Amino acid sequence: MTPYFPGHGDHRYGVTHYDLRLAYRVPANRIDGTARLTVAAAEPLGVLDLDLGRFRVAGVTVDGVRTRYTHGQGKLRLTLPRPLPAGARAGVEVRYSGNPVPVPSRWGGLGWEELTDGALVAGQPIGAPSWFPCNDRPDDKASYRISVTTASPYQVIANGVLVARRRGAGTTTWIYDQIEPMATYLASVQIGRYQLTDIDGIRLAHPARLATRVRHDFGRQGEMMALFGDHFGPYPFAGYTVVVADDDLDIPVEAQGMSIFGRNHVDGVRGSERLIAHELAHQWFGNSLTVACWSDIWLQEGFATYAEWLWSEGSGGLSADGHASRWHQRLALLPQDFVLADPGPAVLFDDRVYKRGALTLHALRQALGDDVFFPALRDWTAGWRHGTVGTRDFAGHVQRYAAQPVGPLLSAWLHNKALPRL
């Protein structure tokens, strides 16, 4: 299968840990960074290619030895001081600085984004190189330590657990540890003048003036967490944070252990609660269970969309059956010109992919019955927890729970362009 983003990532090696140390000046939108990567060779290596955007690289070392490198067109190529045998590990340090520039894509700029007063990271699918050197492919998951120093009036929120906060002369350093493996596109930093609120153990970071609306609009996340825990199994991370940026955003953004919304998603009447459920569900489907290839995006977006329907059903709104019927009618009127299990990059984030993915799950639920379907989902998230998954993995998993072959049903939804009957 042809990779969707052949210019990103390298399968000749993996990264087991990232230690990112950033100093960020908000008015200048400038990063001064040191990235330390622990890399493991999958085959003998004489050179190492990292993905990195438009920064000035000040120096590179490998296991403490200064290393020759070239940098251009999004690639930082290191000539290793000595060949790295297959299975061996090395420590790579890159010092870099500059103004982060989002990675251009068909969906606009991706990655580090300057806000009116702060910054956010929206990395899916290829935005990570906009702020740190990495092996930018979704199946190369690693642990992280993220340290950010910035002016003290700003809150810094990153993936994982806040392990230290150190005040300096007008600045504060925030240090987060993300011990569960994480894909590069899910790594995130949020910087803003935020007020922190805790509701049902979920942290909210938001502009102070929006406190009342935020507490109302996000006030049912504890109930969502309980419902999704029943359906999908235990929440997979140490905590969950929602950031409401003081800017308008086109869509909410997922990251591991957090979700990012714009102020336009807060209206005081829960007008975006469907999106709140969707982003929370991504913690199971996308962040804990991450697709190994972007062609399997339905395993993330279809599941998160179906979680919207389950929340609607569980909270007294339209049933999942009702949502399925409505969306099946709509999709039947739209072009049926892609294969769900390999839609192609042009329609990767097309709403038809999301809704057809959810319909696939509903059809499977109807075929298996709730007493089989939901235990299968819980075992799916438990068996592949913090790993990478593919469509074949899911089909094989589900078949173990079914009394009859599910291959024909899944094949019709996943591999045929024509929309099956519901």
> Is residue 113 annotated as a catalytic residue, yes or no?
no
User: Is 301 labelled a binding residue?
Assistant: yes
The upper half-sphere exposure of residue 415, i.e. CA atoms within 13 Å in the direction of its Cβ, equals: 9
User: Is 113 labelled a binding residue?
Assistant: no
The DSSP letter of residue 285 is B
Q: Which amino acid, residue 374?
A: F
Number of CB atoms found within 10 A of residue 34's CB: 18
Phi and psi at residue 72, to the nearest 5° = 180, 155
Are 249 and 397 in contact by the 8 Å Cβ rule? The answer is: no
> Is residue 279 annotated as a catalytic residue, yes or no?
yes
User: Is 278 labelled a binding residue?
Assistant: yes
Number of CB atoms found within 10 A of residue 67's CB: 18
Which position among 13, 154, 185, 354 bears the catalytic label?
354
Rg (CA), the chain: 22
Are 401 and 369 in contact by the 8 Å Cβ rule? The answer is: no
3-state DSSP call for residue 233? coil
Beta strands in 223-381 (DSSP E): 241-245, 253-255, 258-262, 290-291
Which position among 13, 279, 306, 308 bears the catalytic label?
279
Structure tokens at 331: 């999709």
3-state secondary structure 124-153: CCCCHHHCCCECCCCCCCEEEEEEEEEECC
Distance of alpha carbon 31 from alpha carbon 173, whole angstroms: 14
Q: Residues with catalytic annotation?
A: 279, 354
Which residues sit in the known binding site?
A: 278, 282, 301
Which residues sit in the known binding site for Zn(2+)?
A: 278, 282, 301
